[in-house]
Amino acid sequence: MKFSYTRLKEIAGFTDTPDQLAAFLTMRVFEVEHVEKRGSDWMLDIKILPNRMADASGHVGMAREIAALKNVKLKTKNEKLTEDSRRQATDAIKIKITDPKDCARYSARVMEGIRVGPSPAWMRERLETCGLQSINNVVDAANYVMLETGQPLHVFDMQKLKSKNEKVKSIVVRRARKGEKMAALDEKTYELNPDTLVIADERDPVAIAGIKGGRDSGVSADTTRIVLEGATFDSAVIRRASQTLNLRTDASLRFEHGPDANETPAALDMLAGLIQKIAGGVVFSGMADRYPRTSPQRAILLRPRYTELLIGAKIPASFYRAAFARLGWAAKSKGKDFIVKPPTVRRDIEIEEDVIEEIGRLFDYQNINPRMPEVALRESEKNTELFWEEVVRNTLIGEGFFETELYEFSSAEEHALFGIDPRVAVALENPPNPQMAYMVPVLALRYIISAGQNMRQHDTVKIFGIQKEFRRAEGGGIEETKKLVIVSAAKDARAEHFYALKGVLDGLWERVGIGSSASNGDVVYTEDTSCAFAHPYRAAVVMHNGEKIGALRELHPAIAEKLKVRGQIIFAAIPFAQVTQKASDKAEYRLLGKYPAITRDIAVVVSEDIRTDDILNVIKNAGGTLLADTTPFDYFQDDALATEEKKGLAFHLIFQSPDCTLTDAEVGAVIKKITATLEAQDWEVKK
């Protein structure tokens, strides 16, 4: 937000240079993002915090902040206002607010006999310094007062407001009607809807409330009679309308953060006095004012003892009253404590700790000596879920996978592609775009699509993530399930990629203590036909002690083709609650073998309905104690095998003895026994 250095100096009376002031503000209250020389003035672009927009978005408020921090006297001067007591504003303008929730306050002053023309040079320069273009003396005066007070104001040509009685005009604050349109001051016509708040006369909208005035009611060279508007609108309504209309203005920015309704009359008085000074005219006595939702002043108890405890420094008793005076706050003693009443414009001051923060800022953090906290330290309770998340992350990163966090949203087109029942999808009430219309019901699809997109630049993609999926429950409500999804994709489609990811899973089970290595039951893989977007012959359910703990699948080729994926995508999905519940950090230690291992390969041709685990069990039982490990590494099926409904599997066999170095003859004898056992199952062993 842009401020004039000269104007701040006039009000606050400091001696700092522009750069010194920028450094001071950055260290003590608001970051100054840019300082720029403009004509005879300097522009300071100050980043106002959202909770301080009400009191610090104008020059007076910013100068008040500077004066309080520097402990200097604020110099304010209001324009002298002369009213015509024979004419009452309430006799010339009537105000109606249809819903107090939309408009907390609407105030209006009336003037006539004004002369519209160019603004004085000092005003034009001030507006240009703050990034506003000069239009005419009346409109410029409204913008100038907004820059001074932070209160957005507007001026209507009173003669252009349509009314049955030309002597008494009406202003109605209401929602736009369906199909209404309004030509605005920016020469654009906006289509309005019932979510948009408008200011209307007896027939049509004359302004989009809090955002932009209407062209047909704007001030022109022929204007002599005007209505000055000051109001407080619901910030959410203004923000929503601004986004819908794609129209953001200096006024909407301030209204979105909620200006103080109690400051409106003072801002209108300042505007009326300024117009009277530079454009002449008569000011009607009083103002038309509707204030259905008042903003009461808060009374907050401040305890010096508690203040010193939080700040960490001894603060003299006299400092508190001095601080309240510098801030312009009312305060009275209550024993050793204070009852503090900050002005309503300080919307950020709600509780005692907010007041303490102000005391700390004025005391200056540089005056607080650092010291070690005096607190009792105790060991925090172990968060089991976070612990195992970290174990899983480290394990998969060690296997060469990259953790990825993706949007937990999906579209109807993606649901149809992956065969997901639309009834389980949770729709967003206000989606940012059609591709993010639903909370994702199957987390795997998000990672599959991401892997497919990344394969356009990479030959292999290995990603994983721990996130939530959302499904509509049968009895109503929404089920949130945290899932671990692992995806391995490669352009060279080969069967061993499936088994490679299975090997990663096996290592993961062992690392988290699920499976035979922890003596708590084996992890087995069984045939799976339940997934609509999985390969019909390369899909398995992961079981442990009779419970499903996950799934390992290959993406169906037809879906891969529709996603324009050239290659193969293997994925695993695991409900993380299963990991947390079944994992064990009780490790089983075994000595490393002293003697070298010998590796042999064996290939088996079996019927398509034979599971890999069935073959592994036969090999392990026949191999005895010398067979240390067995790993599948290849899957093959040519046209001849497919015709016979058979498939081929190849395994690495690792032999090792704890007592001696094995000879080829000893290993050969075990392989011969394994071969005979496999052939006894009517399976063909390739020799």
- How confident is the model at residue 37, as a pLDDT? 96
Q: How far apart are CA 4 and CA 9, in angstroms?
A: 9
State the SS3 of 540-589: EEEEECCEEEEEEEEECHHHHHHCCCCCEEEEEEEEHHHHHHHCCCCCCC
- How confident is the model at residue 587, as a pLDDT? 66
Residue 221 exposed, middle or buried by CB count within 10 Å (0-12, 13-18, 19+): exposed
Residues 548-557: contacts with CB within 8 Å, 24+ apart? 549/514, 549/523, 549/574, 549/575, 549/578, 549/579, 549/582, 550/484, 550/505, 550/574, 550/575, 550/578, 552/498, 552/501, 552/502, 552/505, 552/525, 553/528, 554/498, 555/448, 556/532
Ranges under pLDDT 50 in the chain: 517-519
Residue 386 exposed, middle or buried by CB count within 10 Å (0-12, 13-18, 19+): exposed
In 193-346 the beta strands, taken as DSSP E runs, fall at 197-200, 205-208, 212-213, 225-233, 282-285, 288-290, 300-302, 330-334, 337-341
Q: Are 94 and 171 in contact (CB under 8 A)?
A: yes
Q: Phi then psi for 2, rounded to 5 degrees? A: -90, 135
Does residue 29 sit in helix, strand or coil? coil
Going from the N-terminus, what domains does the chain have, and what CATH number goes with each?
2-70 (3.30.56.10), 83-290 (3.50.40.10), 300-363 (3.30.56.10), 384-582 (3.30.930.10), 598-686 (3.30.70.380)
Residue 390 exposed, middle or buried by CB count within 10 Å (0-12, 13-18, 19+): exposed
User: Which has the closest alpha carbon to 100: 293, 296, 308?
Assistant: 293
Q: How far apart are CA 88 and CA 45, in angstroms?
A: 41
**Which two three-digit tokens encode residue 171?**
């202003």
Q: How far apart are CA 478 and CA 485, in angstroms?
A: 21
- How confident is the model at residue 518, as a pLDDT? 43
User: Which has the closest alpha carbon to 10: 53, 73, 91?
Assistant: 73
- The total number of residues shown for the chain amounts to 687
- How confident is the model at residue 520, as a pLDDT? 57
Residue type, 211: I
Q: How far apart are CA 454 and CA 452, in angstroms?
A: 5
Q: How far apart are CA 29 and CA 542, in angstroms?
A: 57
* Backbone angle region of 348, left / alpha / beta, with phi > 0 → left and psi within -120 to 50 → alpha: alpha
Render 231-245 in DSSP notation, one character per residue: EEE-HHHHHHHHHHH
Does residue 259 sit in helix, strand or coil? coil
**Which two three-digit tokens encode residue 658?**
């704890």
**Cβ contacts of residue 600 below 8 Å, gap of 6+?**
652, 653, 655, 667, 671
* pTM beyond 0.75: no
Torsion over CA: 112, 114, 116, 118 (sign) = negative
In 168-273 the beta strands, taken as DSSP E runs, fall at 169-175, 181-183, 189-191, 197-200, 205-208, 212-213, 225-233
In 92-149 the beta strands, taken as DSSP E runs, fall at 93-97, 103-112
